[in-house]
Chain A
Amino acid sequence: MREGVVTKDDLEAFRRRFSEWLERNSPDWWPRTIESIHRRIYDDIIPQMRAWQRRLYEEGWLGYGVPERYGGKGGSRLLEFVIHEELAKRSAAPVLNRIGLVTALPILLSHGTDAQRERYVPPILRADEIWCQGFSEPSAGSDLAVLACRGEIKGDSLIISGQKVWSSLAHIADYCLLLCRTGKVEDRHRSITCVILPMKSEGVRVSPIKQITGETEFNQIFLSEVRVPLENVIGELNQGWNIAMMTLNHERLLMCMEMLAKASAAFNRFRGMIEEVGESDKTYWKARAVDLLIDLEKSKALLESMMNLAQRGEVGPETTIMKLSATNAIQRTYLTINEYLGGGATSDADGCDISWFRGMLWSRGRAIAGGTSEVLRNIISERILEMPR
């Protein structure tokens, strides 16, 4: 995908403007604590979150990289990434329709028909319609190319049956960006089709998955002979793999921007904590803070270099390196803070803060979502180091 041109100075000026705006307008119903960093999107605040995204859009902060005729503002997508990053940095309420904006929208723009773009893009921007993603399956995670969810062509419809897993927001979504098998399994990625699945269709059932944090962010989707019109196919039949993969590097880049924003916010709080330590322990904890500072700074420097590539529209498999680096930074930050707090992070008794433990649990998921660290290492060794499969 071709990016609109944007310079580093443009991005920083935009960041400052948004940051000032956010300072005045961050919603007070969203708890600005560590808790919000990994908080599931509770059903009871969905209306406020919809309204928040709509406001961001109407105030001109969303829709970059989207042509004006579809309700966007043109320009570079990276401007919008800065919005997500700033929200994460300040632990402010995130954008509700994240999958719609980050995954579905660029795919619709690059491979959708005019009719699809006109129909689906504006409601994504306004959070009128929420999207989820149906890629992974119980037996097709890291090796996504063996996915089994079937799509049989009958007349002018696809009849879809199968199961999807790890679908964030599926419980409230209106549409799912779904990958299904429309040919032989042996053809692997050459017989996969990308389709827009209305979640209200007959035969769709959503079941929540409880995570180690105790929260329920993901869902399973069960599909039983769900009829979807063929006009909902994005791009050509059996071309879904390349379509789905094209947004992967950008998603990973955004994920890293948010991880590092959160890690920096947590680190700044840690710096405050150790100021209160007695002199005898201070040297030790300052040294530990320096370790974290080095982890964060090296990862931030890497992100700057990746943003540089992205500004030129050249972001590719090197985002795998970025993700391993950012995952390390955030995991080590949470682990160190938990070590520092000791028993103080194990309960919510007076003077304790259990959310740091939950944050640490949440950070473990970062090494799994968006490509496990093991798969990323495979990609690095095979595609960059050119070692044999």
Chain B
Amino acid sequence: MRFRVIEPELNEEDTLSVRTFESLLGRSYGRTQMRVVADSNRSAVSALKAELVNTGLTSLFLMDEEGNDGSKMVVAACLSQLSGRHLVPLGLLTLHLISSYLLSKSIREPLKRVELIEELGVKVVTPLLNNRLQLVDKGSPQASLSPADGKVSVNGLVLDLDVSDLVLLPVLDDGVTRLFLIESSSIRRFATPVQFIDLTSTCQMVRGELDVKTDEIARYYVKSDQILEDVAHSSILLAAEALGCAERLLEMTVEHLMVRETFGKKVASYQAIKHRCSDLLVRIEELRATVLYNSNSKLRCLVSKALAGEVVTHVALEAIQLHGGVGFTWDNDTHLYLRRGKVCDNLVIDSRHARELLSRIL
């Protein structure tokens, strides 16, 4: 059952990319594997990673010399949406795409770009976030450079560190954010797992000091004056992830309502229920439109991000209610999507921050 009303406008090559990922998920990361992952067995994630890097999709944002016209962002959004539908660990795809987008916008020298394409073609990069899951927060930065000894003190969270090869550090240096790219192995020793609401991703707390000069672990050292702009643009991918969750929730709900009977008829035949489901579809299609028709504008991306958290939470709570008692059980998937949705709502740039940025644009 699929209720997609609006379709993305993709060329043949991009359509093929999206289909490749979709069939990969169908083959290697179906519901059974996802439930196993939710029970903390991560073997399916490693297997998926190996297949994913083989597709070349992980270097999506770096292939384009001019650096990411709107069409690449639409392809990435379609991938993130599939990630949301299948509850792929966030660090494996969506956070990787966001990190590589930020790198591609910051690194302009052709040689370094080629190097990065080769690297990200086979490696997964995930960002260091602060404890509230924000990527850029000058108030409480997750990494800062000490001018005295050149050391970077790190205090933040990394999602899915087990499958990441590289970590992107947004380092606050004298009021400016600089991006460092380091090997994940160099910070694993500082990492301790924390409880995380999203059961299909993992979360590690990382706290320690990195000696970036002597260790030579930092490959890129780029100043990103407009990192907040780039973060705002790339946050559309989290809106897409939330969209994938929301559409899957509605499908599951309608499927359930078509089977369940009460007072002698299908629950799906009651008008009160039908109208609620219709309202959910309206909200999902509105979100889909902001994700796919964002004209690459900062305003639309922020609208999309702020809207996504609200929509996915609402749809998930309605899905739980419309599933009745079943929706309150662990074995039903609705809570897994609610968990992912709440993380998407708050991840990288939370709805509150997105709204604040919008009010500045007003």
Q: Which residues of A contact B (CB under 8 A)?
A: 271, 286-287, 289-290, 293-294, 297-299, 301-302, 304-305, 308, 318, 321, 324-325, 374, 376-378, 380-382, 384-389
Query: Chain B contacts of A287 at CB under 8 A?
Result: 355, 359
Most buried by A among B1, B9, B286, B290: B286
B281 and A380: CB pair below 8 A? yes
Give the complex CA separation of A186 and B313 in angstroms: 46
Given A293-B303, A321-B5, A388-B268, the answer on whether A378 and B289 have CB atoms closer than 8 Å is no
Minimal Cβ-Cβ distance residue in B for A303: B289
A308 and B9: CB pair below 8 A? yes
A290 and B362: CB pair below 8 A? yes
Shortest distance from the beta carbon of A273 to any chain B beta carbon, whole Å: 12
Give the complex CA separation of A240 and B3 in angstroms: 31
Shortest distance from the beta carbon of B48 to any chain A beta carbon, whole Å: 31
Give the complex CA separation of A290 and B355 in angstroms: 7
Question: What 1/0 flags go to B274-308 for Cβ under 8 Å of A?
Answer: 11011101100111111011100001100100110
Minimal Cβ-Cβ distance residue in B for A292: B362
B362 and A293: CB pair below 8 A? yes
Q: List 7 A-B contacts (CB under 8 A).
A: A298-B287, A302-B285, A304-B293, A378-B271, A381-B278, A385-B3, A387-B273
Query: Chain B contacts of A294 at CB under 8 A?
Result: 303, 306-307, 358
Shortest distance from the beta carbon of B336 to any chain A beta carbon, whole Å: 22
Q: Which residues of B contact A (CB under 8 A)?
A: 1, 3, 5-6, 9, 254, 257-258, 266, 268-269, 271, 273-275, 277-279, 281-282, 285-290, 292-294, 299-300, 303, 306-307, 355, 358-359, 362
A387 and B290: CB pair below 8 A? no
Shortest distance from the beta carbon of B239 to any chain A beta carbon, whole Å: 11
Query: Chain B contacts of A308 at CB under 8 A?
Result: 9, 293
B303 and A298: CB pair below 8 A? yes
Give the complex CA separation of A387 and B322 in angstroms: 14
Query: Chain B contacts of A381 at CB under 8 A?
Result: 274-275, 277-278
B278 and A304: CB pair below 8 A? no
Given A301-B300, A305-B6, the answer on whether A385 and B359 have CB atoms closer than 8 Å is no
Shortest distance from the beta carbon of B351 to any chain A beta carbon, whole Å: 10
A298 and B281: CB pair below 8 A? no
Query: Chain B contacts of A318 at CB under 8 A?
Result: 5-6, 285
B293 and A301: CB pair below 8 A? yes
A324 and B282: CB pair below 8 A? yes
Shortest distance from the beta carbon of B128 to any chain A beta carbon, whole Å: 29
A299 and B286: CB pair below 8 A? yes
Q: Which 4 A-B pairs have the closest CB atoms?
A: A381-B274, A301-B289, A380-B278, A377-B278
Given A321-B285, A387-B269, A387-B274, the answer on whether A377 and B9 have CB atoms closer than 8 Å is no
Query: Chain B contacts of A286 at CB under 8 A?
Result: 359, 362
Give the complex CA separation of A79 and B362 in angstroms: 30
Minimal Cβ-Cβ distance residue in A for B1: A386
From B3, B258, B359, B362, A384 is in contact (CB under 8 Å) with B3
Query: Chain A contacts of B285 at CB under 8 A?
Result: 302, 318, 321, 325
Query: Chain A contacts of B9 at CB under 8 A?
Result: 308
B287 and A289: CB pair below 8 A? no
A interface secondary structure, majority: helix
Give the complex CA separation of A286 and B289 in angstroms: 24
Given A377-B279, A387-B258, the answer on whether A298 and B358 have CB atoms closer than 8 Å is no
Query: Chain A contacts of B266 at CB under 8 A?
Result: 388
Query: Chain A contacts of B307 at CB under 8 A?
Result: 294, 298
Minimal Cβ-Cβ distance residue in A for B254: A385
B257 and A387: CB pair below 8 A? yes
Shortest distance from the beta carbon of B61 to any chain A beta carbon, whole Å: 23
B282 and A389: CB pair below 8 A? no
Given A325-B286, A387-B268, the answer on whether A305 and B292 have CB atoms closer than 8 Å is yes
From B3, B289, B358, A293 is in contact (CB under 8 Å) with B358
Give the complex CA separation of A233 and B194 in angstroms: 74
Known contacts A298-B289, A318-B5, A387-B254, then 15 further A-B pairs from the complex at CB < 8 Å, ordered by chain A residue: A304-B289, A304-B293, A305-B293, A308-B293, A321-B282, A325-B285, A325-B286, A378-B275, A380-B282, A381-B274, A386-B1, A387-B274, A388-B268, A388-B269, A389-B269
Query: Chain A contacts of B274 at CB under 8 A?
Result: 377-378, 381-382, 385, 387
B290 and A297: CB pair below 8 A? yes
Give the complex CA separation of A304 and B285 in angstroms: 12
Shortest distance from the beta carbon of B313 to any chain A beta carbon, whole Å: 15
A385 and B355: CB pair below 8 A? no
Give the complex CA separation of A286 and B355 in angstroms: 10
Give the complex CA separation of A176 and B6 in angstroms: 36
Query: Chain B contacts of A325 at CB under 8 A?
Result: 282, 285-286
B277 and A387: CB pair below 8 A? yes
Query: Chain B contacts of A324 at CB under 8 A?
Result: 278-279, 282
Give the complex CA separation of A302 and B277 in angstroms: 18
A385 and B358: CB pair below 8 A? no
Query: Chain A contacts of B292 at CB under 8 A?
Result: 301, 305
Shortest distance from the beta carbon of A168 to any chain B beta carbon, whole Å: 27
Query: Chain B contacts of A384 at CB under 8 A?
Result: 3, 5, 281
Minimal Cβ-Cβ distance residue in B for A274: B362
Query: Chain B contacts of A385 at CB under 8 A?
Result: 3, 254, 274, 277-278, 281
Give the complex CA separation of A325 and B5 in angstroms: 14
Query: Chain B contacts of A387 at CB under 8 A?
Result: 254, 257-258, 268-269, 273-274, 277
Given A302-B289, A304-B289, A305-B289, the answer on whether A297 and B299 have CB atoms closer than 8 Å is yes
Minimal Cβ-Cβ distance residue in B for A308: B9
Minimal Cβ-Cβ distance residue in A for B253: A385
Query: Chain A contacts of B306 at CB under 8 A?
Result: 290, 294
Most buried by B among A301, A304, A388: A301
Given A297-B290, A385-B281, the answer on whether A374 and B275 have CB atoms closer than 8 Å is yes
Shortest distance from the beta carbon of A243 to any chain B beta carbon, whole Å: 26
Query: Chain B contacts of A374 at CB under 8 A?
Result: 275
